Amino acid sequence: MAQNRSYKMSRTRRTQTWFAGRSPVLLTPLVDMFTILLIFLLMSYSTGGQLMYMAQNVLMPESLSREQLEPAVEIAVATDRIYVDGEVIMDDLTEWYTEKKLLMPVLYENLKLKALKFKRMEAEVPLFHFAGKITVQADRAIPFHVLKKVLYTADRADFPRISLAVFQRD
């Protein structure tokens, strides 16, 4: 028993001399502090602008505009196809280079379905508001009369607020 008591006392002395003048670093509060700091930094970090899906084969024009994009339905017009929100909806645009009609039926139907879905969502979710915004990315090589048909079709499908996406020149 006496030997056990002396062992405990010598162990206590060793511990006291080891930490003499130093406080032990407790790992749990340190991890908690770094977690809170990380959450604060992630919540306060903001990337200006809207990230967009970049369609293949679309070389957008450059601009000096400084306006940021807002969340919207995205149309990408490549030289040979049209994408809506990253999905190919028209594989062959060659007929539209010579077509006289302004309304593109396949694009119109796709956009009209999206508009109806957003309007239904607006009726069900009180904080959601359908503003009819659309962002168009168009290749530089697309003739304007083809781009005009895309813009006209978007307007007819209840998307009157049209933005054109461009590369920002410094």
Q: What is the mean pLDDT of each run of 10 residues along the chain (170 residues)?
A: 58 58 73 89 66 60 60 86 89 86 93 92 86 88 90 93 75
* N-terminal to C-terminal alpha carbon distance within the chain: 82
pLDDT of the residue at 97: 85
pLDDT of the residue at 156: 93
Are 163 and 80 contained in the same domain?
yes
pLDDT of the residue at 35: 92
**Residue 32 counted as domain residue:** yes
pLDDT of the residue at 110: 94
Provide the whole-model pTM.
0.62
Strand duo 82-84 + 87-90: pairing: antiparallel
pLDDT of the residue at 15: 58
Q: Which long-range CB contacts under 8 A does 45-50 form with residues at least 24 apart?
A: 50/135
Q: Which domain holds residue 77?
A: 62-168
Residues 6+ apart with CB under 8 A from 166: 60, 61, 62, 63, 65
Are 70 and 8 contained in the same domain?
no
Are 73 and 141 contained in the same domain?
yes
pLDDT of the residue at 68: 59
Residue 77 to residue 59: CA distance in whole angstroms? 10
